[in-house]
Structure 1
Amino acid sequence: MHVMDLFRLNGKVAIVTGGGSGIGRAITEGLVEAGANVVIASRKFETLKKVSEELSNQETRVLPVKCDLEKMEEINNLVKTTLEEFNDIHILVNNSGMTWGMSSLEYSEEKWDQIMRINLKAAFFLSQKVANYWVKNNKKGKILNISSTAGMGGIPEEFMPVPAYSASKAGLITLTKDLAVKWAKYGINVNAILPGFFRTRMTEFTFKKGLEKFVYSGIPLRREGNPDEIKAAALLLVSQASDYITGAILPVDGGMLAMVMNISFT
């Protein structure tokens, strides 16, 4: 097989949660460019609809589905709708996430629980739902979890006062490895990407506070990532090119995690 054919997704069907903005939108765009039909899901239907109109073309379709991932019935409906519209699922990208900034000494139980429900619980139960479809129908599939470099260690509070976010992303890393081991026998690959510093709604805080120079000091490439760089990594891990890759945790971070000494605030 020609190497470029390993990356083609013609005829494939993907679900991307949080596919209407930021990293999720970039991944959606990459999957469409590779030939996949994509179902994008979040609570913000108007944003999804706009992306659908921008990315759909004669060969591929982007279907917006309103979905509150805190509700199991809406997770079930997302899978049901995808199967009704496309009659199959080949790829699941768990990208949806939220964060909330507050001092770790004062962090609220309400926000902690909400972040865990969206960032970790929903990723598991949506994966479970899709995996059950694959197992019952003797099909193989690819799951890609979007975690974060924040899940790999501590971060100074003045930069990221988000303990629940970091904990949820760390949980997603271990969940990725665990499901990769448990579901390998079914032909299901489970991998994760750890984005570093990308300009998204979640990172706007950094720019507003003028902290980007401190962030860049902890990135060997001395810059933020761009959408093309995240969608290329995602394509690798959801395409045939990664058939022998499972349980992998891929940093897309400009070398941030490779540094022994990281961000300095002195």
Structure 2
Amino acid sequence: MPALTDTFTLSNGLHIPKIGFGTWQIPTGSEAYDATKTALEAGYRHIDTALAYGNEASVGEAIRDSGIPRDEVFVTTKLPAEVKTADGARSAFEESSRNLDLGHVDLYLIHAPWPWSDMGSDHRDGNVEVWKVFEELYEAGRTKSIGVSNFDVADLQDLLGRTDVVPHANQIRWFIGNTQDETTAFDREHDILTEGYSPLATGGLLENTAIRDIADKYDRSVAQVAIRYLLDKDVLPLPKSTTPSRIAENADVDFTLSDEDVATLDGLHDTDS
């Protein structure tokens, strides 16, 4: 399926497959292993995990066991949001590297600009300290690209003003009705790829009648329309499922939404409420 083999090009020239398989909330062990294995068998070549997910070892094992050459699978992992020191960042990266056991990482992200327990708090100095470690890891080739997650414009501006390497990606919550226009525009202006997690609003879009009406026109599912919408906006979707049929369906998005239908979707707001 071309949607799985097509790539975006990061600002450093690295190619990243246009659809990623998300593993958030998939428990370690057989569930994470089987879901990752199923995704790879379905043709996904971009797998997204995080130290905080607790499933890196199972994800890495599934990738190793797949028989797919390492350079054909793009692997993202993330530094826990709570870690805001250089030593903490180095230690966490080593832990992720051991867990994954895949050699290099393809994209390493700061999971959030603040600890999850204190959302919105100011940790900009810590983010700069951590980012300088990211720059070292990138320079050493231990990660092929570096980025951030859940950063808004103010967070990005501060980081860009005090560091050398502009993030290659910013992974944010992005779906129909929640398109973070200001951050997405800032990313585009600075050649930062926007990745969208929860492209189905954690399932919140699946009962949306307006999207269903559009999906019916294309003989597609709501999930497929939601994922296609991100691609049409040059945002990289990270759909997540543990159901083999859904894993395959989420990648079967080689169709084109009409301008009129995109405009309708643009007009939907707060569709996850």
User: TM-score, normalising length from structure 1?
Assistant: 0.42
User: TM-score, normalising length from structure 2?
Assistant: 0.41
- Whose helix fraction is larger, Structure 1's or Structure 2's? 1
